[in-house]
Amino acid sequence: MPDGRLERLSARLQAAGQGHVLAWAHELAPAQLEELLGQLESLELGRLQAMIRAALSPPPAPGAGLEPPELLEWGSEEQHRARDAAARRAGEAALAAGQVGAFMVAGGQGTRLGYDGPKGRFPVGPLTGRSLFAYHAQRVLATSRRYGCDLPLYVMTSAANHESTRAAFEEARWFGLEPGQVCFLVQGMLPAIDREGRLLLASKHSLSWSPDGHGGSLRALQRSGALDDLGARGIRQLFYFQVDNPLARVLDPVFIGHHLLARAEMSTKVVAKHDPAERVGIVARQDGRTGVIEYSDLDPELAARRDEQGRLVFRAANIAIHVLDVAFVRRLLGTDLALPVHRAEKAVPCLDRDGRPVTPKEPNAIKLEQFVFDALPLAERTITQEVLRVEEFAPVKHATGADSPHTARQALSDQARRWMGAAGLAAPSGMAEVGPLFALDQEEFLAKLTRSDFGPVFDRS
């Protein structure tokens, strides 16, 4: 190339120990070479090399002095009701002022469910077949109606499902939301590496890429312009949740209120762990900071420890629902957001060192990921609120067994039947369902119920 572009890039890559990715550059057609150079120039090599070094190093084990978090325990006694009522008032005031936005992370495909398309399109309604997208978008719509303002929904997609996710919203007429309420942003990508830290090539003119994990969501807000949009709308708090949980109480005023009253920068919802072996991260404190410890990193003795009431000491299971102060997000991004790197070993089709394509059956590569919960220790103030699993957590992760479509549908139906029981109704046999546009919670269900509503499905457009 006459402008020396290839030579300059080659020198930078050689200095970073990644010069091999240009080994076949001389064989490429102009369009292929342009594609490869564009990918390589998009890499922040300094940051990437630091991430690679971290991924190749042994993960740090939780140190001594691990403690349970300061927990806002769930309870039905008078002091709990009074505490939550004060939080609800604070949260409702912020919602009515239009100061809260919903942020749904929805980059996943339904592959593990045997579904061809974005996971958010997957039908989970016990009787209606309502999709995950519909549950969440309708909760945003119902909350907007309740508080008299158009609250925004930010949807993080991935390169693999962006167009089909947008199409799902368009086909459903935005699930009743105004198009201007919905903002799409695309998750970032990171290149895969081998066990020596060398970048892998998918072909002679393309790197092997994978999504950068939900920790990349904060950088995606900035890169997409969504962070500026938050500022223009006057949004001060961001309600973060993942698409796979149809019971997620999106824009929950009580949780938002607890976060605001504590002047927290980032807050977390948790449920009580089923048992010590449950494969879920737990919220804990270490060195005065709150964070999430992955289940595989928690010492089995600590995981099994119980208090005088027989409860697990480390029981605060992370369910990936947070409130983040937008000013906190801006501060993190202003310091280059150096979240820890997590490694996932995968079997990744790639080129071998002779340029031949290989399709391994065993893991041969490391995918780099960052997790949003790793921002927790960077927050000066945080709260951890315990909620009931049966009311707020039923993720769809596997095709069968635990955390599957079957268990999610059953949880949604059980919730509907509990609400009907609270109204003094005899629930019909079989499954039942309450749509978000009929009621966001049991209190609203009881207030709205009429004789004409009786039946297995409570829905209202």
Percent of the chain with pLDDT over 70: 97
pLDDT for position 451: 65
Confidence of residue 248 (pLDDT cuts 50, 70, 90): very high
Using alpha carbons, list the distances in angstroms from residue 396 to 231, 300, 381, 407, 459: 33, 27, 31, 8, 22
pLDDT for position 454: 64
In the predicted model, what is the mean pLDDT of the chain?
A: 93
Summarised one tens digit per residue, pLDDT across range 351-363 is 999 999 999 999 9
Among 416, 394, 414, 391, CA closest to 404: 394
Judge whether residue 151 has pLDDT over 90.
yes
Would you state the torsion angle of the CA atoms of residues 287, 87, 413, 436, taken in this order, to the nearest 10 degrees? -120
pLDDT for position 156: 97
pLDDT for position 63: 63
- Catalogue all structural domains in the chain, each as residue range(s) with its CATH number: 63-397 (3.90.550.10)
pLDDT for position 425: 81
pLDDT for position 415: 96
Q: Stretch 241-259: mean pLDDT, rounded? A: 98
Judge whether residue 314 has pLDDT over 60.
yes
Give the DSSP per-residue string, 136-195. HHHHHHHHHHHHTS---EEEEE-TTTHHHHHHHHHHTGGGGS-GGGEEEEE--EEE-B-T
Which has the minimum average pLDDT: 223-232, 331-340, 400-409? 331-340
Judge whether residue 461 has pLDDT over 60.
no
Summarised one tens digit per residue, pLDDT across range 44-76 is 898 899 999 999 987 766 666 899 999 999 988
Judge whether residue 32 has pLDDT over 60.
yes
Summarised one tens digit per residue, pLDDT across range 281-303 is 999 999 889 999 988 888 899 99
pLDDT for position 4: 84
Structure tokens at 130: 């309502």
pLDDT for position 458: 84
Judge whether residue 308 has pLDDT over 70.
yes
- Residue that the structure tokens 């904060």 belong to: 218
pLDDT for position 448: 87
Q: Stretch 76-99: mean pLDDT, rounded? A: 95
Instruction: Write the burial class of residue 248 (CB in 10 Å: 0-12 exposed, 13-18 middle, 19+ buried).
Output: buried
- Interacting residues of 183 by C-beta distance below 8 A, sequence separation 6+: 152, 153, 154, 155, 224, 226, 229
3-state secondary structure 385-416: EECCHHHHCCCCCCCCCCCCHHHHHHHHHHHH
Q: Which residue has the higher pLDDT, 453 or 313?
A: 313
CA distance 238 to 441: 21
Summarised one tens digit per residue, pLDDT across range 174-211 is 999 999 999 999 999 999 999 999 999 999 999 999 99
**What values do phi and psi take at 328, rounded to 5?**
-65, -45
pLDDT for position 95: 98
CA distance 370 to 217: 9
pLDDT for position 338: 73
Check if the beta carbon of residue 69 is closer than 8 Å to that of residue 384: yes
pLDDT for position 449: 85
Summarised one tens digit per residue, pLDDT across range 154-178 is 999 999 999 999 999 999 999 999 9
pLDDT for position 426: 80
Confidence of residue 3 (pLDDT cuts 50, 70, 90): low
